[in-house]
Amino acid sequence: MRIDTTDLAGVLVLRPEPFRDDRGLFTRTFDATEFDAYLRSRPDSPAVRACDFVQDSQSRSVRGVVRGMHGRSGDGEAKLVRCAHGAIHDVLVDIRPGSPTFGRSQAFLLDDVEFAHLFVPPGFLHGFQALADVTDVCYRIDRPHDPREDLAVAHDDADLGIVWPLPVTTISARDAAAGSWKDLLAGLTSSENPADVLW
């Protein structure tokens, strides 16, 4: 497994090395030993380790669906994201006050050809668009989900300026009612302790 840095501070792409032959392929999608060794070798890495991931979830979406942009207040959450079937246009936005990449976004292609994982530390908005007729996305998070801590910014917020590669076919009612980037920023700047709002 190769681990690459990205343009967003703390975000990593974990790239397995699938073995392919006439039968198809075999790949180790995640290696806890390599992941932990990499994080220990970098002084700026978050404190999370492979054993901290406590919940696994999976979603299935059809082509054009957008899920996002979602975040989490309080302590936030670290997550591993991969596309087990199909392909997604995955987008992250740094919402950590004081981060050198605060407010910046980056998009990634995750698919069932390369099997790359994203490691997302606490303090990001996350969303994706399904690029295949059947798209399965797997998530691992480092603490149990608490809906009271959910944050959301509209996928089409003009200030975020996210460009989705396909026409958006379907979003959830919750995502349709999501707030704006300006609302989220106002919450950050009005809090005496931004860590109360975001991780």
Please give the positions annotated as active site: 70, 139
The token duo for 184 is 């989220």
Could you tell me the CA-to-CA distances from 33 to 1, 36, 67, 166, 188 in Å, in that order? 10, 5, 31, 37, 36
Strands (E), 76-134: 79-85, 87-94, 105-111, 117-120, 124-130
Contacts of residue 7, defined as CB under 8 A and 6 or more positions apart, other chains included, come to 101, 104, 106
3-state secondary structure (DSSP) of residue 185: helix
User: Token pair for residue 55?
Assistant: 């919940």
CA dihedral 103, 122, 192, 145 (to 10 degrees): 120
Helix (H) or strand (E) holding 12, with range, is: strand 12-15
